[in-house]
Structure 1
Amino acid sequence: MEIPNFAPVPRSNMTEQRLKAAAVELEATFLAEMLKAAGLDKARQAFGGGAGEDQFTSFLLQEQARQLARSGGIGLSETLFNAMMEKTHAD
């Protein structure tokens, strides 16, 4: 079995990937705050309530916000990414 010879990823592509990931994470954080403001951070007593459900509701909200951002979100990550790329190329 022959192992494919992959070319190294150019440094600029690595930078772009890291900036894109950072932009998506920033959008996810923003969306999580908006979901909290909308009252979606309250436990729904779906699993019997209690302290555990209250504590883990924030993790669920953050993951929901990440999924929203990864699937396109509200377009904030694209704007953030473009601004960071401009700043990177300006330096």
Structure 2
Amino acid sequence: MNGIDKASLINGRKDLQLADALTRVSPEAQKKTRAKAEEFEAMFLNSMFSQMTTGIKGEGPFGDTPGTGIWRSMLTDEYSKSFAKSGGIGISNDVFRTLILQQANSAG
């Protein structure tokens, strides 16, 4: 099953509204929309990961030294991008669906 077929499934069932919308949106636009949806999820995850590590004190990579703050922000950024690219927590699928439906409706 390719990425487009998976995109038109909700809880393992065919999403007929999305399947129809995908026929009215170009593959290039679908690719761009998927990338933007993953980018949005990565930003959300980055915010979540940053909040999770804010209160950590002590020594080591998550310690409370001047250098670890910068290192931690870069690490959480990479973690969030990696999580989103691997499927994330499902936010990007909903964002993708919403954006594709809007694009299809505006296309006529």
Q: Give me the whole-angstrom Cα distance separating, in 1, the residues matched to 2:55 and 2:96.
A: 28
Aligned-pair CA distance for 1:42? 5.4
Matches within 5 A, 1:11-50: 12-39=26-53, 45-46=60-61, 50=65
Aligned to 1:7: none
Q: Could you tell me the TM-score, scaled by structure 1's length?
A: 0.74
Q: Which residue of 1 aligns with 2:12?
A: none
Distance in 2 (alpha carbons) for counterparts of 1:49 and 1:26: 29
Residue 27 of structure 1: how far off its partner (Å): 0.3
User: Shift in Å at residue 81 of structure 1?
Assistant: 0.2
Count of residue pairs brought into register by the alignment: 81
Q: 2:83 aligns with which of 58, 65, 68?
A: 68
Q: Percent identity?
A: 28
Deviation at 1:41, TM superposition (A): 8.2
Q: CA deviation at 1:39?
A: 2.0
Q: Which letter maps to 1:81? A: F
The 1:41/1:78 distance shift into structure 2, 3 A limit, reads farther
In structure 2, runs of 5+ residues without a counterpart are 1-24
CA deviation after TM superposition for structure 1 residue 19, in Å: 0.4
TM-score (norm 2): 0.63
Which amino acid letter does the alignment assign opposite residue 60 of structure 1? L
- After the TM superposition, which of the residue ranges 53-62 and 28-37 deviates more from structure 2? 53-62
Are 2:56 and 2:64, in contact at CA under 8 Å, matched by a contact in 1? no
CA contact (8 A) 1:19 1:81 kept: yes
Q: Distance in 1 between matches of 2:46 and 2:55?
A: 9
Q: Secondary structure at the match of 2:60?
A: coil
